[in-house]
Chains A and B, each alone.
Chain A
């Protein structure tokens, strides 16, 4: 008799999803699906709005990474305007994106994943949270809060508020950086380096104890996609996309935002509202790939900053080719955070960073435009069509969680097959299946907040629809 286990909702993710595990008649895992259960509809209700509203409108998709949508959207708008933004504006935007990446990676590593990593997958779920980490390792609890605040405060200094800033506009940014704010950010850097150093040390001390999880946390060959510079260093704002195969060979290079829809497609599965993104020439699902920190580090040859390059060299020791297990996303995030802090320091020391010319202006010069950037979770592409008055007639947003969707589903199945046995669902098994998803740090539209408690319920159902087991926490 086949059975179904549902984990609903999955906890410590940005947004809400659930997992269904299908058991065969012997009680062994036959299949698993990760469902995203929210509908947002942004692509549709943006139609008819003036294109210059799109950065602020689409930033509302997310409360964690609104900066990503602001930047991708502004770039799409600038393609419509046919303008090149001033150098200083580009540098300030780069700093904004990196600050967001640092705060988002800190949130993922410290707040969402460190409870598993530092307290253990089998630890008491009541204490398995950032506060449990703070009680067990106050130094790391403080480091996590400090590193997140570092990124958020830079965003606030640049854009006057931490979330949903209106500072990024088509053509550049609204205000230049003041010398007082530059000095304030520079003064924050030593503490940021120290906090990140604590995280790297702690992670490297415990990573080897998770070999069983590393083996089955989405540990399989895939393709990888991400932005890269011409010198093969990491890129978050400009450059073009590179797709590599499981052995690291380049499948396609130089995918610009405009060419994105030529080569990237979106498939639909009937169990999730999130699409499954793939590389068209390879078809679906063969053309699926991973994005985000693991993919970026697999693609690049260097980070372009000294401390991060040292960390990258160490990261690449994990495997002769691309690093496959999604467990290593945690490590990759810390390497990227190091790059982010170093690059912010470099940008602040740029002699032109206080230049007052930070915005270009123009009207509608093209009826179509696309922009792409690297969000903390992976590649983000915005693509718009407008009428002659600049009103949006069509919008497409391809987000990181869509790129990773196929790998997340395969990862859940791989972990479930290891940890769910005989139709039984131990607390450790439940947490590990969730933790696979957390390695990707998916953003399931976190601007939709739940009101009240969000219990985690596991239901084991028989084929005739009867609940044979129920676990709620």
Chain B
């Protein structure tokens, strides 16, 4: 399998059957339509981030990870830099976080994306269901705006934004 080298990789995760946990796949779907036709942008979405995605991340020039957050305030949209860890201790095989993905990529492929950011949306509910909470529904326009701005910056080769 040939891994497509993306100038900007958007990598989302979440479970669409777990209410707000599905916000990552929803935003990935939005991004796919938004950047449709732009070969520089590659959008991937999965329930979990696993080892098989490491090469995609390592080969990309810049990566925007998208996930929901159980720790943030419901509906809060955050954009934070992602940095590689010092080593791979404690990394699990069933699921990886954004930082772990780029760490394993560095160890296995010897390369890191030039820029990596994680956009999260605070979840209010992760119970069984296919509807977002009111808080997450209200956050979608802001999340989409931040994705668009980030991708534009990535493609322009600008430095990643400072963490808020």
Interface, chain A (partner B; CB < 8 A): 12, 111-112, 126-127, 129-132, 134-135, 138, 141-142, 145-146, 148-150, 152-153, 162-163, 187-188, 191, 449
Contacts and interface: CB of A to CB of B under 8 A. Distances in A.
Contacts of A153: 1
A92 B109 CA distance: 34
Interface string B28-47: 00000000000000000011
Contacts of B94: 449
B52 A131 contact: no
Q: What range describes how many residues of B lie at the interface?
A: 10 to 19
Given A145-B54, A149-B1, A191-B1, A129 B91 contact: yes
In order of increasing CB-CB distance, the 7 nearest A-B pairs are: A131-B88, A149-B52, A153-B1, A131-B91, A188-B1, A111-B93, A145-B51
B56 to A, nearest CB: 10
Contacts, number: 46
19 contacts: A111-B51, A126-B89, A129-B93, A130-B51, A131-B88, A131-B107, A134-B88, A134-B104, A134-B107, A135-B107, A138-B108, A142-B109, A145-B51, A145-B52, A145-B54, A145-B108, A149-B52, A187-B2, A449-B94
A113 B17 CA distance: 32
Nearest to A157: B1
Interface string B1-35: 11000000000000000000000000000000000
Interface in B61-113: 88-91, 93-94, 104, 107-109
B95 to A, nearest CB: 8
A410 B108 CA distance: 39
A141 B108 contact: yes
A127 B51 CA distance: 16
Interface centre among A111, A134, A191 (most CB of B within 10 A): A134
Nearest to A162: B46
A113 B43 CA distance: 32
A117 B89 CA distance: 19
Nearest to A14: B94
A145 B55 contact: yes
A127 B108 contact: no
A126 B55 CA distance: 24
B90 to A, nearest CB: 7
B108 A134 contact: yes
A142 B51 contact: no
Given A126-B90, A131-B104, A145-B108, A163 B47 contact: yes
Given A111-B51, A152-B52, A130 B108 contact: no
Nearest to B95: A449
A373 B161 CA distance: 53
A138 B109 CA distance: 9
Nearest to B3: A149
Nearest to B15: A449
A125 to B, nearest CB: 11
Interface in B98-133: 104, 107-109
A127 B107 CA distance: 14
Given A129-B93, A138-B108, A145-B55, 4 more contacts: A112-B93, A129-B91, A130-B51, A191-B1
A148 B55 CA distance: 13
B88 A135 contact: yes
A176 B109 CA distance: 36
A149 B47 CA distance: 16
Contacts of A138: 107-108
Contacts of B55: 145
Contacts of B93: 12, 111-112, 129-130
Contacts of A131: 88, 91, 104, 107
Nearest to B100: A131
Contacts of A129: 91, 93
Contact of B108 (A111, A142, A163, A188): A142
Contacts of B91: 129, 131
A353 B107 CA distance: 40
